[in-house]
Amino acid sequence: MADKGKGKAVDPIDIGSDSDDDFFVSKKRPAVRQATLPPRSPSPPVRTHSDNEDDGSPDSQQKKRRKPTSKKPALELPSWTRASSNDHKKNGAGGRSRKGSSQARGSTEERGETIVIDDSDEDAGPSDRKPKAIRHRVQLTPPPEMSEAKKAEIEQLVKAHLGSKFQDQETEVVDDSSSSPEKNDGDELEKVFITVRMVAPPEKKLSAAPAAIKEYQKARTLILSRTGHMSKGINTLSDRLQKRPGDLVFVYNDSRVYPRSTPEQLGILHKADMSGYEKEYWDRLQAERRRALEALSDDEMPHDDDAIEHLDSPTSKTNDQLDKMDLSKHETQPTQLTAPYTSNAGDTKNIENSEPRGEEEIQDYIRFIVKSENGKHRMKGQKALRIQTIIKYYCKAIGKPPEEAEKMYLMFDGEKLDKDLTLGETDIEDGDMLDAGMVKPLPTSRRRF
């Protein structure tokens, strides 16, 4: 009865028989006071991770990486970008017109003006840049068109001022490559004007049209340098005629003009007239001329050897006495030409002409000098005399055998003369000097064994 009033006795708890149910039953969970919620923030709440969500899904990963966006502070524009009231006054109606033009037709909304601001605009200080100069476009009014009558009147005035030599002529300008590119007034004095007129062959005149013949034979003026070669003019004219330079021949004073000749050598100081031939037609004319000369009798046309006179007379002999000599009645026999001539006065025979010669016969002769190491000899011959004959006579005069004439040559102005040419076909004039020389044999090389 000792336990009476104390209640029923509780069995002791065995550790081995303890369980969760007994724990929860025996011990009640205390009531937890609910905490107050924090104040709401403008940013959305961050969702925490829960165990029941799938970590491998892409939606969950995107939600994890998403961060709240913060608003950027508004950019305040500098004061100079704001239009002042003075600007509106200056613009006036123009400003209102631009404002009205910025609106689209049929639209009540006004387009905003776009302002591009870079980093330098943040500093509203004064700018050091100079304002660009305003470029004004100037438009010139074109001149009024002239009538045909006015153009014809101006053309007549130009032709009357330039002269008749520039009418109906084509001018070919040939630049002298040897001159300096910087032209001055002195260069104009070195220019010569050479007018060339082509001569058409007779068969071409019969077959071609009259307009083509007129175009072929019209005068053409070449502007060359006085000291330049004639090859430039020949090349220019051959290009216009669509010919090769070697197919054209220029003739001046009945003598052929060679490409290496210069206007100064031809005696042209300012202007001259020349004739142009095709080489085939020129060679045919020369052959006909030679046949006509060969057909003459011995009384009318002397031989080549008789047409040369050796003028080793003293220096006291005047030109009048030289003109009185008649080479066609030379008394010296051909056998006597083999003997060498000396400079003694007794060896020269003065032969006077019984009848005075005409002016044409005097002009047909050329006096020249042949010089070499063996001496100087004065000669006089006709224009139809060949260079080969002059060389043969010079060999006889200096005492060399006739076989040496094949090895000898004549030079004029630094150029070798073709032995088949005549005096008239060269640029040799009265008083010119020719240099005679011998062709040197090539040295034979000795081989060592």
Domains and CATH numbers, the chain: 163-292 (3.10.20.90), 298-438 (3.10.20.90)
Give the pLDDT score at 15. Answer: 57
Per-residue confidence in pLDDT tens, the chain, 449 aa? 455 555 555 555 555 555 566 555 555 666 666 666 666 666 665 555 555 545 555 555 555 566 667 777 777 777 777 655 555 555 554 445 444 444 445 445 545 444 444 444 445 555 566 667 777 777 778 888 888 888 888 888 887 777 544 444 444 444 544 444 444 444 455 888 999 999 888 888 888 888 888 888 888 898 888 888 888 888 888 888 888 888 889 988 888 888 888 888 888 888 889 999 998 898 888 888 878 767 654 444 445 455 554 444 333 333 344 344 433 333 333 323 333 333 333 333 332 333 334 444 445 778 888 888 877 888 888 888 888 888 888 888 888 887 788 888 888 877 888 888 888 888 888 878 888 888 776 555 555 54
Element of type H or E holding 233: helix 231-241
Report the distance separating Cα 202 and Cα 217, nearest Å.
13
pLDDT score, position 334: 32
Contact 282, 257 (CB under 8 A): no
Predicted pLDDT at 92: 52
Residue 271, phi then psi, degrees to nearest 5: -150, 155
Q: What is the radius of gyration, based on Cα positions, of the chain?
A: 59
> Which residues lie below 8 Å from residue 339, measured CB to CB, with a gap of 6+?
396
Query: Considering Cα of 182, then 187, then 190, then 191, what sign does the dihedral take?
Result: positive
Strand order, beta sheet including 248-252: 170-173, 219-225, 191-198, 271-278, 248-252, 255-257
Distance of alpha carbon 376 from alpha carbon 357, whole angstroms: 28
- Number of H helices and number of E strands within the chain? 12, 12
Q: Determine the 3-state secondary structure of 129 from DSSP.
A: coil
Q: What tokens appear for 298 in the block?
A: 């011995």
Closest CA relative to residue 280, chosen from 243, 253, 230: 243
Which helix (H) or strand (E) element contains residue 369? strand 365-372
What whole-number distance in Å separates Cα of residue 111 and Cα of residue 99?
Answer: 9
Q: Checking DSSP bridges between strand 255-257 and strand 248-252, what pairing results, if any?
A: antiparallel
Amino acid at 220: R
Give the helix, strand, coil percentages of the chain, each rounded to 5.
35, 15, 50
Q: Name the token pair of 375.
A: 């001496």
Six token digits for residue 57: 């899904």
> What's the predicted TM-score (pTM) here?
0.33
Report the DSSP pairing between strands 309-310 and 219-225: unpaired
* pLDDT value of position 171: 47
According to the model, what pLDDT value does residue 88 have?
52
Q: Are 157 and 207 in contact (CB under 8 A)?
A: no
